[in-house]
Amino acid sequence: MLKHVCFGLLLLCGCKAKQNTPSFSTDGSVFLQMDLPSPNSIRTGSGAPGIKYWQQQVDHDIVASLDVDTNMLYGSQTVTYTNNSPDTLTFLWFQLEQNVLRKDSIRSRERKPAEENYAGVRVSKLQVNGKDATLHDYGTLARIDFEGDVKSGEVAIITMDWNFPVSVDASIRMGYDDAYKHGPVWEFAQWIPVPCVYDDVYGWNTLPYIGRGEFYTNFGDYNVAITVPSDHLVFASGVLTNPSGVLTSDEQQRLKEAMKTKAVVKIRTAKEVGSIDGGTDKTWKFSGNNIRTFAWATSASYIWDAASVEINDINGNKKRVLCQGAYPEETADVWDEAVSYVQHSIKYYSETLYPYPWPQMSVVRGKAGGMEYPMIVYCRGSSHESLFNVTDHEVGHDWFPMIVNTDERRHAWMDEGFNTFVNHYSLEQFYGDRPHKPDVSKYNASKFKNDLKAINTPPDFLKSRGHLSYRKPGYGMRFLREEIMGEERFDAAFKEYVSRWAFKSPRPADFYRTMEDASGMDLQWFFRGFFEETMQLDQAIESVTQTNDGLRVTLLNLEDWVCPVDLVITCEDDSVHSYSLPVTIWAWSMRYTRTFELPSQARSVTIDPNNAYPDINVTNNAWYFH
Ligand SMILES: [Zn+2]
């Protein structure tokens, strides 16, 4: 039997495919240091923000009113722009994201415009520091030229009036949903003209809003006054500061109760919806601090549920976070559990990543299928499972990118991928033994082997964003944690990344460096192969031979990426021998031979027995002794 070693048929196929590659020697370039930006006192070699780290502070005072008859939104705003950069700014760039629907936008010119003759954002009375300024409109971007400049440390006050029509048909991350008997739902997001980010890496970040990439914005404080008909409720990225001006005394009392209890309190019941006079207008005032944008939703159809959840704040003190759900009666059979979903997610991510820093979180039903903003998320969930899964995902975004403010127009995987990764464990905890679809399932790499764009590609240039911005990086993070780094080293490093970059803006290099710095591991080969390039993995067993010294196993690395090898040998005496071969076995050759001393004859040799690796050809991973 010893001399009759057999190879699996498919294994031979795997080898044949590479017969025109006679040498397996390698220059080891996959292990070389990545070409990352030079560290400096803003972004250090350790991956932490340096002593000279700076970012702009942009505060907003906004007065807005919704005309529900004409579907127009009118606003006036004062933007207080603090130039913390060392540079003098002689012009400003603003985002006019609502113009994405206008026919001259890049999105509309790529395809049929979403709405014919959409007017977009009209800006008037534009001033910088009290003097008239000029706005140059370039679709979703506008350059503002003004007299003088804004020197380092100076503050510019930008005032403007604006308005735009709410599209009733088209919607990108917001919209109008007229499907409910007590009135439509309006969701507003990326709705105000805001300054683009000026940073140390790119200067002005002026990637346009095409719709595939989300947004990269400045942190700031928002005071927003919103006028809507008096039967409406408003939910927003801030705390309501004038409850007595807009709520009944019962509603005010119930809201106070909700802050004290984890049991859901009905603040506005189904019965009360529709019984309020909507003839006049009311102005809702909100305050949101240290947030990277402001969103809000309003409807006369909204039922309002609320409760709170206790978490530890950053100093370890107990605090209660208000969790709210708002939904029309037509969706109540599913949405009556929305508040409990928010409670789970706020608590789970606070405990595992970073304490939720704001006082509240709302999930509201509307047109947007699923979208995240500070303190408010938009969902459409129409089953309990989909509502939970989407709510958990969107609430998770309040960590990535609402706390860790990444550039979503360049590095979508740093919010969607990281979020998908943490959602996986949140779902595991929420569902426990109950059946559910895992968020990051086993990864069938062969299915995507022809999808060769790098994960770190700006999302506007990705066709398969679902794969390359969400699932593949989500899987890669899980693989890195569970197979490459181990949970202890990964968790310490990832938490370090979150706490170093909370309320700041990391770039990929800052993430890579922090993960190495805090884990003490060389991971360049991983980040290069998985996130930055389009490398593929195919580990194979080339031959298995019984010799006088033991079982000689030769492994091949058939593609350009490398990984450690998880090898299991099962013997005739039923003993099982596991070997964790480090990635460095591939440093100088893509062929690796080793002789294993075993207690008896081998029955099988397997690599990646748990099918955990992103191996594009798993048919050459096992050898059986027949
Ligand atoms: Zn997302």
CA 294 to chain centre: 17
* Rounded mean pLDDT, 17-31: 68
What integer pLDDT is reported at residue 462 of this predicted model?
87
Residue 12 alpha carbon to ligand 1 centre in Å: 43
Which tokens in the block code for residue 246? 């807009």
Residue 391 alpha carbon to ligand 1 centre in Å: 10
Please tell me the pTM assigned to this model. 0.94
Residue 387 alpha carbon to ligand 1 centre in Å: 14
Alpha-carbon distance 147 to 399, whole Å?
A: 39
Q: Around ion ligand 1, which residues have CB less than 5 A away?
A: 416
Residue 113 alpha carbon to ligand 1 centre in Å: 25
pLDDT at 302 over 60: yes
Domains of the chain are 57-410 (2.60.40.1730)
pLDDT at 22 over 90: no
What integer pLDDT is reported at residue 441 of this predicted model?
67
> What letter represents residue 465's amino acid?
R
Least confident of 6-15, 179-188, 379-388, 456-465: 6-15
pLDDT at 13 over 60: no
What integer pLDDT is reported at residue 15 of this predicted model?
39
Residue 461 alpha carbon to ligand 1 centre in Å: 17
Residue 394 alpha carbon to ligand 1 centre in Å: 6
Residue 439 alpha carbon to ligand 1 centre in Å: 12
Residue 298 alpha carbon to ligand 1 centre in Å: 22
Please give the residue that has the higher pLDDT: either 396 or 444: 396
Alpha-carbon distance 210 to 172, whole Å?
A: 10
CA dist 159 to 18, 188, 418, Å?
65, 21, 37
DSSP 589: B
Residue 252 alpha carbon to ligand 1 centre in Å: 33
Percent of the chain with pLDDT over 90: 86
The residues near 542 (Cβ < 8 Å, ≥ 6 apart) are 11, 15, 554, 555, 556, 591
pLDDT per residue as tens digits for the range 348-383? 999 999 999 999 999 999 999 999 999 999 999 999
What integer pLDDT is reported at residue 571 of this predicted model?
96
Please give the residue that has the higher pLDDT: either 442 or 190: 190
Residue 412 alpha carbon to ligand 1 centre in Å: 9
Residue 319 alpha carbon to ligand 1 centre in Å: 27
pLDDT at 114 over 90: no
Residue 477 alpha carbon to ligand 1 centre in Å: 16
What integer pLDDT is reported at residue 148 of this predicted model?
95
Average pLDDT of the chain to the nearest whole number: 93
Least confident of 26-35, 93-102, 329-338: 26-35
Helix axes 338-352, 416-431, angle to 10 degrees: 110
Residue 365 alpha carbon to ligand 1 centre in Å: 16
Residue 451 alpha carbon to ligand 1 centre in Å: 21
Single out the residue of 115, 123, 65 nearest to residue 94, CA to CA. 123
pLDDT per residue as tens digits for the range 545-584? 999 999 999 999 999 999 999 999 999 999 999 999 999 9
Residue 475 alpha carbon to ligand 1 centre in Å: 15
Alpha-carbon distance 285 to 223, whole Å?
A: 7
Residue 233 alpha carbon to ligand 1 centre in Å: 26
Residue 76 alpha carbon to ligand 1 centre in Å: 30
Residue 418 alpha carbon to ligand 1 centre in Å: 9
DSSP 367: S
Single out the residue of 600, 599, 603 nearest to residue 625, CA to CA. 603
SS (H, E, C) 339-389: HHHHHHHHHHHHHHCCCCCCCEEEEEECCCCEEEECCEEEECCCCHHHHHH
CA dist 216 to 33, 95, 291, 336, 385, Å?
29, 10, 12, 33, 30
Confidence of residue 4 (pLDDT cuts 50, 70, 90): very low
Alpha-carbon distance 454 to 139, whole Å?
A: 29
Residue 122 alpha carbon to ligand 1 centre in Å: 30
Residue 401 alpha carbon to ligand 1 centre in Å: 10
pLDDT at 309 over 50: yes
Single out the residue of 605, 600, 606, 598 nearest to residue 573, CA to CA. 600
pLDDT at 90 over 70: yes
Confidence of residue 118 (pLDDT cuts 50, 70, 90): very high
pLDDT at 277 over 90: no
pLDDT at 14 over 50: no
Residue 600 alpha carbon to ligand 1 centre in Å: 52
Alpha-carbon distance 261 to 273, whole Å?
A: 23
pLDDT per residue as tens digits for the range 401-429? 999 999 999 999 999 999 999 999 999 99
Q: Which residues pair with 122 in a beta bridge?
A: 163
Residue 395 alpha carbon to ligand 1 centre in Å: 9
Residue 419 alpha carbon to ligand 1 centre in Å: 7
Please give the residue that has the higher pLDDT: either 465 or 80: 80
Residue 423 alpha carbon to ligand 1 centre in Å: 10
* Rounded mean pLDDT, 43-69: 98
Residue 103 alpha carbon to ligand 1 centre in Å: 27
Residue 189 alpha carbon to ligand 1 centre in Å: 15
Q: Please tell me the number of Cα atoms within 13 Å of 484 on its side-chain side.
A: 27
Residue 250 alpha carbon to ligand 1 centre in Å: 36
What integer pLDDT is reported at residue 6 of this predicted model?
36
* Rounded mean pLDDT, 592-604: 96
Residue 283 alpha carbon to ligand 1 centre in Å: 31
DSSP 615: B
pLDDT per residue as tens digits for the range 482-514? 999 999 999 999 999 999 999 999 999 999 999
Residue 371 alpha carbon to ligand 1 centre in Å: 7
Residue 397 alpha carbon to ligand 1 centre in Å: 7
